[in-house]
Amino acid sequence: MRFLRNTFIVCSLAIGWASTAHAQSMLHGRVFGQGANNEREPLRSATVLWRSTKDGVLTDKDGMFMIKRTSVTDTLEIRYASYVTQLVVVTGDSVEVVLVASTNDAITVEADQPTISRAPQKTEIISKKDLTKAACCSLAESFEKNPSVEVSFADAVTGAKQIQLLGLRGLYTQFLIEAVPLVRSLEMPYGLDHVPGPFMESVSISKGASTVTNGYESMTGLINICMHNPRTAPSLFVNVYGNTQARFELNIYGAQQVTDELSTMTLAHGRIYDMAMDNNKDGFADIPTFRQLNLVHRWWYNNDEIEWQIFLRGILDRHESGQKIVSHLGAVHAHEDSTNPSTYDILTDIGRADGFVKFGLLNFIDDMEGSGLSLVVAGAYHDQTSTFGVRQARGLQRTVNVRGVAALPFSESVKLVGGFSFLYDDVQESLMSNSFARIERVPGLYAEFTLQPVERVTVLAGLRADAHNMYGTRVVPRAHVKWSVTDYTTLRASAGRGWRVASVVTENLSSYINSRQVNFDQSFQPEDSWNVGASFTSTIEIAERPFTFDLEAYTTTFLNQIVVDLDRSVREVWVTNLNGSSYATNVMAQVLFSPVPRLDVLVAYRWVD
CA end-to-end distance (rounded Å), the chain: 44
Alpha-carbon distance of 214 to 417, in angstroms, equals 12
The more confidently predicted of residues 276 and 191 is 191
Handedness of CA 155, 386, 500, 407 (dihedral sign): positive
What local confidence, expressed as pLDDT, does residue 7 receive?
46
What local confidence, expressed as pLDDT, does residue 38 receive?
65
User: Does the structural domain 115-227 have CATH classification 2.170.130.10?
Assistant: yes
Q: CB-hemisphere CA count at 13 Å for 412?
A: 4
pLDDT in tens, 571-587: 888 988 888 889 999 99
Q: Is 282 a residue whose pLDDT tops 60?
A: yes
The more confidently predicted of residues 589 and 143 is 589
Give the E-state strand segments of 369-503 in sequence order.
Answer: 372-388, 391-409, 414-431, 434-451, 457-468, 472-486, 489-500
H/E stretch holding 8? helix 2-13
Q: Could you tell me the CA-to-CA distances from 216 to 427, 445, 513, 597 in Å, in that order?
A: 18, 11, 31, 43
The more confidently predicted of residues 14 and 48 is 48
In this structure, which amino acid lies at residue 411?
S
Alpha-carbon distance of 34 to 39, in angstroms, equals 6
Q: Phi and psi of 97, rounded to 5°?
A: -120, 135
> Where does the pLDDT of residue 589 fall: very low under 50, low under 70, confident under 90, or very high at 90 and above?
very high
Alpha-carbon distance of 165 to 149, in angstroms, equals 5
Q: Could you tell me the CA-to-CA distances from 191 to 179, 221, 340, 343, 433 in Å, in that order?
A: 16, 17, 35, 29, 26
Alpha-carbon distance of 462 to 211, in angstroms, equals 7
The predicted model scores a pTM of 0.79
- To the nearest whole number, what is the mean pLDDT of the chain? 82
Within 86-201, residue ranges assigned H as helices are 128-133, 188-191
Q: Tell me, yes or no, if the two domains 22-100 and 115-227 fold the same way.
A: no
pLDDT in tens, 383-420: 999 988 888 889 999 999 999 999 888 887 888 999 99
The more confidently predicted of residues 488 and 496 is 496
Angle at 170 between CA 164 and CA 172, to 5 degrees: 115
pLDDT in tens, 420-475: 999 999 999 998 888 899 999 999 999 999 998 888 899 999 999 999 999 999 99
Q: Could you tell me the CA-to-CA distances from 182 to 162, 421, 465, 517 in Å, in that order?
A: 16, 15, 21, 33
pLDDT in tens, 105-139: 433 334 444 556 556 777 777 777 777 766 567 88
Q: Which of 145, 204, 279 is nearest to 600 (CA)?
A: 145
Domain boundaries, the chain: 22-100, 115-227, 228-608
Tally the residues of the chain: 609
Structural contact between residues 24 and 57, judged by C-beta atoms closer than 8 angstroms: no
- CA 261 from chain centre, in angstroms, equals 26
Q: Is 295 a residue whose pLDDT tops 80?
A: yes
pLDDT in tens, 339-354: 455 778 888 999 999 9
- The mean pLDDT value for 56-81 works out to 81
Q: Which of 186, 189, 184 is nearest to 153 (CA)?
A: 189
From the options 3.20.20.70, 1.20.1050.10, 2.40.170.20, 3.40.50.1450, give the CATH code of 228-608. 2.40.170.20
What local confidence, expressed as pLDDT, does residue 153 receive?
62
Structural contact between residues 498 and 217, judged by C-beta atoms closer than 8 angstroms: yes
Alpha-carbon distance of 398 to 425, in angstroms, equals 6
Handedness of CA 8, 13, 14, 15 (dihedral sign): positive
Handedness of CA 141, 142, 146, 148 (dihedral sign): negative
User: The domain 22-100: what is its CATH number?
Assistant: 2.60.40.1120
Q: Is 498 a residue whose pLDDT tops 80?
A: yes
Max mean pLDDT among 105-119, 330-344, 593-607 falls in 593-607
Q: Is 91 a residue whose pLDDT tops 50?
A: yes
